[in-house]
Amino acid sequence: MLEVNGLRVSYGGIQAVRGISFHVNEGEMVALIGANGAGKSSTLRALARLLDPAGGSVRYRGKELLPLPPHALVAEGIALVPEGRGVFPRMTSLENLRMGAYARSDKAAIEQDLEQVLGHFPRLKERGQQLAGTLSGGEQQMLAIGRALMSRPRLMLLDEPSMGLAPIMVQKIFEVIRTVASDGMTILLVEQNAKLALEVSQRGYVMESGEITVTNESTHLLADPKVRAAYLGE
């Protein structure tokens, strides 16, 4: 479904991503793990066009994505849950969710999806009229995921969904990610919490200094002594 070839990202001459290649199959959850600064988020941000890649190709359902303007991606079925949530702080939770469906025009289906998302996150229903900026970190993360779902994506890019959350909240968020994935969503998950990411995903790529160094099925990666030593704290 997604095929990335030779993707490069630079920040003023410093290469953060050095020509990496990977792919995500339809219906699969793939984890991109690695230490802080390895280039995982840069990769995801380049895919979502929050920054312009220095080179490479990104093919999605047979179509080259890089020439498209950033706002065209959502119509292709790609949704990013950005690092740090990126909710609209001075809009209510409901308005945030509706912004997720901004590119859609099928009103009846939007209302249906809204009900479904609120079903996933009863907490957001209670907080519907509250400004998103006043929600807790975990609630904001739920909102960001819900908002992404509202665009009816085929591919979800999740950037560090566990970051800055209490362990109990992390469990909740990952439960939802699991549910969404089991409904057939294709997911590319970038996560510093390697153990958690490998537990929910089918395959994983390990990034180190801007390059992919190891790739395998997640269960194998979880058992790999080198991965365990470097990323699972053993």
Task: Write out the residues near other proteins by the rule CB under 8 A.
Answer: 48-50, 69-75, 79-80, 82, 86-91, 95, 98-100, 102-103, 147, 151
Minimal distance, residue 165 CB to other proteins, in Å:
19
Min. distance of Cβ 219 from other proteins in angstroms?
32
158 three-class SS: strand
209-215 own/partner pairs: CB under 8 Å, 24+ apart: 209/18, 209/38, 209/39, 210/15, 210/16, 210/17, 210/18, 210/20, 210/38, 210/39, 210/42, 211/18, 211/19, 211/20, 211/39, 212/20, 212/21, 212/22, 215/22
- For the record, the structure tokens of 216 come out as 């395998």
Least distance between other proteins and beta carbon 88 (Å)? 4
Which residue lies nearer to other proteins by CB, 100 or 161? 100
Q: Which is nearer to other proteins, 74 or 180 (CB)?
A: 74
Least separation in angstroms between residue 223's CB and other proteins is 36
Question: Across-strand partners of 148?
Answer: none
By beta-carbon proximity to other proteins, the closer residue of 87 and 181 is: 87
Smaller CB separation from other proteins, 114 or 227:
114
Distance CA 94, CA 8 (A): 37
CB closer to other proteins out of 151 and 193: 151
Residue with tokens 């704290």: 233
Q: Measure CA of the first residue to CA of the last residue in the chain; give whole Å.
A: 34
Smallest distance, other proteins to C-beta of residue 50, A: 5
